[in-house]
A and B are shown apart, each in its own frame.
Chain A
Amino acid sequence: MDYIPNILFAILLIAGIAFFAKNVKKLIRNIKLGKPVDTSDHTSQRWRNMARIALGQTKMVVRPIPGILHIIVYVGFIIINIEVLEIVLDGLLGTHRIFSFLGGFYSFLIASFEILALLVIVAVFLFWVRRNIIKLKRFLNPEMAGWPKKDGNLILYIEFVLMVLFLTMNAADYQLQQMDVAHYTKAGAFPVSQFIAPLFQEMSISSIIVLERTAWWLHITGILMFLNYLYYSKHLHILLAFPNTYFGKVRPKGQFNNLDSVTKEVKLMMDPTADPFAAPDENAAPPEKFGASDVMDLEWVQLLNAYTCTECGRCTSECPANLTGKKLSPRKIMMDTRDRLEEVGKNMDANKGVFVPDGKQLLGDYISHEELWACTTCNACVEACPVSIDPLSIIMDMRQYLVMEQSAAPSDLNNMMGNIENNGAPWPFNQMDRLNWSKES
């Protein structure tokens, strides 16, 4: 009979992790729908980026208030994992505070968890105030209505509840330790929860034990649920920020990719020895599609970007187009990409792993031409993103599709391109007049 809690715990743990693993598999499959891209270059710079941006949170503190609050929650999250490890071991083995043999160091650990938990509660509360009372402009964009808004708040509620449960658990534990109850060995220091403990003084020992156990179970169950909530939430960034900063762009921001498929054709066209009337190679692969109209046309790093986006809107709040009231929002570009990718993934799940065309695509059904043409390619969004996401690359790929596959550029741009083609300048001036300025006074 004594083993029932341990067995229940093991089942809960395995179920929680298995469900999570299933979603991770789906996540990886979806990201792999993207086109391959070589990320084996600049290895040391990539590691440095990850250490600096994801681990070191350097981009977060560009905005100091949310930056510092975020660092508190982030450190809290990392440290709390040590405590979760103890909980898991206790749960499986039926022990209590298995790490308590660490003595003074253990007291120090528990004390720092408690202080962090309190700080996290404060930070989470302030985050909630920013979202719901102060109503920062960047949380009010149209793409933030509905689920994204709820998601943002839910995470704050969950973190709040988890921290309260943790402190309640410790407070009850502390009280039981003071009462010399068997099994509750005296261990740990409780700088925060010792102030909660007096609330339980009047209660019977068995009630306090029930309280302690309840808080313990709810806390670990909550953590497992939270783990599984990640996949459905912008909170996935706590895991993906690391690979994303590693695989993020390492070239100068202004350097856009030169399409190899185009290079091949251009070289052929400019080659004076090529026979213009040669019969096309029968075995040649079908011509590649230029640019992107759907998620499968994007590179996998761009899809990883979409899953990593935490919808903070820092990109959008720096975007000149968005600032001046245009429809473009780089955050929406990322959210649309993720939504469409999820839709494609569900389609595959429902069709034995193959995608059955659903008459929809990212371009048009999610992202409009108007949004795409409003971008000045200024890179402000790329610079602002705290997790190295590149919304501009998706915009550019879709513009390429519009222009090279559909000839659907705005007519002014067609004029400009016609001028370059005919005169070697975007304006209708003759190339032979290029040096006239040197003779004008």
Chain B
Amino acid sequence: MGNELKVPTMAELFAAGQQPEVLFWVGCAGSFDDRAKKITKAFIKILNKAKINFAVLGTEESCTGDPAKRAGNEFLFQMQAVTNIEVMNAYEVKKIVTACPHCFNTIKNEYPGLGGNYEVVHHTQFLKHLLESGKISMEGGQFKGKRITFHDPCYLGRANNVYEAPRDLIRKLDAELVEMKSCKSRGLCCGAGGAQMWKEPEKGNKDINVERTEQAIEVKPDIIAAGCPFCNTMMTDGVKTKDKETSIAVMDIAELIATAEDL
């Protein structure tokens, strides 16, 4: 591995009398899940390369409360939200970027009602902006001619109408973007949302991630691109179930870009 990751925390910067431009909200999956940690690191590499003035909350970050809320526990959600908002308001946070659509949705849409008003962007939107403003370039050509299909995360797409940023980035990789039969506003859930990640699915004849992976396999991709750590896990499992893990990779958009840039 190349350079050390530079991961400043809010507390450190604050102590040094500095204020970062943007807070990178890592999220629980990005902090603890082995697969998702790779996405976090890929994104950090890009931030470092682009010399973005950012910080993370580190040990001061706590679950946004999204899984609690969607499981029906409004109390726990609001306790989490109010705690997080207190921390962020103390640091006078203005702008937040996150690689988790669940954190993105919750902080963007549900925190304002509880006193947390920030500009919140998903990392694909942020990356698109970096690319357009020339802070990063993608010339690696590693993905030239590769077939990539994008799985829309429900909480990014349908929930917040972000469909184009991830797609624009994939096109910039010189890859061939192929669409599944259910995509964009009609995209099929990976099966993890609404707190399903933490429980056994109800009885049925198939798991949702398998159904979704089958839709992806239909378009014969080399890579299934994702923009959510949970989708990533679900699709990775799905690809394994179908014994395709040697021929189809599941990668986050941040990982694609970090790879293209040889970071």
In the assembled complex, the Cα of A86 lies from the Cα of B69 at a distance in Å of: 56
* B62, B74, B196, B200 — most chain A CB neighbours (10 Å): B74
Chain A residues, Cβ within 8 Å of B159: 252-255, 379
Chain B residues, Cβ within 8 Å of A427: 28, 32-33
B89 at the interface (CB under 8 A from A): no
B200-232 CB mask vs A (1 if < 8 Å, else 0) is 111111111011100000000000000000000
Chain A residues, Cβ within 8 Å of B189: 320, 376, 378, 380
| Pair B67/A252 contact, Cβ less than 8 Å | no
- Of B15-23, B76-84, B132-140, B242-250, the one touching chain A: B76-84
| Pair B200/A412 contact, Cβ less than 8 Å | yes
- Of B53-61, B143-151, B165-173, B255-263, the one touching chain A: B53-61
Residue of B nearest to A395 (CB): B194
| Pair B110/A267 contact, Cβ less than 8 Å | no
List residues of B (153-205) whose CB comes within 8 Å of A's CBs. Answer: 154-155, 158-161, 185-186, 188-189, 191-205
* B32, B68, B202 — most chain A CB neighbours (10 Å): B202
In the assembled complex, the Cα of A244 lies from the Cα of B181 at a distance in Å of: 30
| Pair B63/A425 contact, Cβ less than 8 Å | yes
Report the interface size for chain B: residues with CB under 8 A from the other chain: 72
Whether A402 touches B72, Cβ cut-off 8 Å, given contacts A254-B105, A324-B208, A425-B28, is yes
- Of A45-53, A202-210, A414-422, the one touching chain B: A414-422
- Of A3-11, A36-44, A430-438, the one touching chain B: A430-438
Residue of B nearest to A375 (CB): B194
In the assembled complex, the Cα of A320 lies from the Cα of B207 at a distance in Å of: 9
B82-100 CB mask vs A (1 if < 8 Å, else 0) is 1100000000000000000
In the assembled complex, the Cα of A403 lies from the Cα of B59 at a distance in Å of: 29
List residues of A (258-284) whose CB comes within 8 Å of B's CBs. Answer: 258-259, 262-263, 265-267, 269-270
In the assembled complex, the Cα of A328 lies from the Cα of B201 at a distance in Å of: 12
Chain B residues, Cβ within 8 Å of A327: 202-203
Chain B residues, Cβ within 8 Å of A415: 198
In the assembled complex, the Cα of A438 lies from the Cα of B48 at a distance in Å of: 13
A291 at the interface (CB under 8 A from B): yes
A399 at the interface (CB under 8 A from B): yes
Chain A residues, Cβ within 8 Å of B110: 255-256, 258
Chain A residues, Cβ within 8 Å of B114: 258, 263
> From residue A289, how far is it (CB to closest CB) to chain B in Å?
12
| Pair B69/A318 contact, Cβ less than 8 Å | no
Interface size class of A (residues with CB under 8 A): 35 or more
In the assembled complex, the Cα of A330 lies from the Cα of B93 at a distance in Å of: 39
| Pair A413/B206 contact, Cβ less than 8 Å | no
In the assembled complex, the Cα of A270 lies from the Cα of B81 at a distance in Å of: 12
| Pair B195/A416 contact, Cβ less than 8 Å | yes
Whether A376 touches B154, Cβ cut-off 8 Å, given contacts A254-B159, A404-B74, is yes
| Pair A266/B72 contact, Cβ less than 8 Å | no
A233-263 CB mask vs B (1 if < 8 Å, else 0) is 0000000000000000001111110110011
Chain B residues, Cβ within 8 Å of A426: 28, 63, 67, 197-198
- Point out the residue from B72, B204, B207, B210 that lies within 8 Å of A291, measured CB to CB: B72
Residue of A nearest to B205 (CB): A325
Whether A404 touches B75, Cβ cut-off 8 Å, given contacts A380-B189, A435-B9, is yes
Chain A residues, Cβ within 8 Å of B154: 254, 376-380
A365 at the interface (CB under 8 A from B): no
A79 at the interface (CB under 8 A from B): no
A400 at the interface (CB under 8 A from B): yes
Residue of A nearest to B199 (CB): A412
A2 at the interface (CB under 8 A from B): no
A227 at the interface (CB under 8 A from B): no
A151 at the interface (CB under 8 A from B): no
* A327, A378, A415 — most chain B CB neighbours (10 Å): A378
| Pair B194/A376 contact, Cβ less than 8 Å | yes
In the assembled complex, the Cα of A323 lies from the Cα of B30 at a distance in Å of: 30
| Pair B71/A435 contact, Cβ less than 8 Å | no
> From residue A387, how far is it (CB to closest CB) to chain B in Å?
16
B241 at the interface (CB under 8 A from A): no
Residue of B nearest to A379 (CB): B158
B37 at the interface (CB under 8 A from A): yes
List residues of B (5-34) whose CB comes within 8 Å of A's CBs. Answer: 5, 7, 9, 26, 28, 30-33
Residue of A nearest to B196 (CB): A376
Residue of A nearest to B83 (CB): A270
> From residue B219, how far is it (CB to closest CB) to chain A in Å?
18
| Pair B198/A435 contact, Cβ less than 8 Å | no
B124 at the interface (CB under 8 A from A): no
In the assembled complex, the Cα of A290 lies from the Cα of B75 at a distance in Å of: 10
Whether A376 touches B192, Cβ cut-off 8 Å, given contacts A403-B71, A435-B9, is yes
> From residue B125, how far is it (CB to closest CB) to chain A in Å?
15
A291-327 CB mask vs B (1 if < 8 Å, else 0) is 1000000000000000000000000001011011111
A410 at the interface (CB under 8 A from B): yes
> From residue A229, how far is it (CB to closest CB) to chain B in Å?
34
A441 at the interface (CB under 8 A from B): yes
A358 at the interface (CB under 8 A from B): no
Chain B residues, Cβ within 8 Å of A323: 188, 208, 211
In the assembled complex, the Cα of A212 lies from the Cα of B250 at a distance in Å of: 70
B117 at the interface (CB under 8 A from A): no
Chain A residues, Cβ within 8 Å of B192: 376
| Pair B71/A399 contact, Cβ less than 8 Å | yes
Interface residue ranges, B against A (CB under 8 Å): 1, 5, 7, 9, 26, 28, 30-33, 37, 40-41, 44, 56, 58-59, 61-63, 65, 67-76, 78-80, 82-83, 105, 109-110, 113-114, 154-155, 158-161, 185-186, 188-189, 191-208, 210-212
9 closest pairs, A vs B, by CB?
A: A254-B159, A399-B72, A377-B194, A424-B62, A325-B205, A255-B109, A325-B204, A403-B72, A378-B189
Q: Can you report 24 residue pairs joining A to B where beta carbons are below 8 Å apart?
A: A252-B105, A254-B109, A258-B113, A258-B114, A262-B78, A270-B79, A270-B83, A320-B208, A321-B208, A324-B205, A325-B203, A326-B203, A327-B203, A376-B189, A380-B189, A383-B185, A396-B70, A409-B73, A425-B28, A425-B62, A425-B63, A431-B62, A438-B5, A438-B44
Question: What 5 additional pairs, Cβ within 8 angstroms, besides A376-B194, A379-B154, A425-B28?
Answer: A323-B208, A328-B202, A374-B202, A380-B186, A410-B200
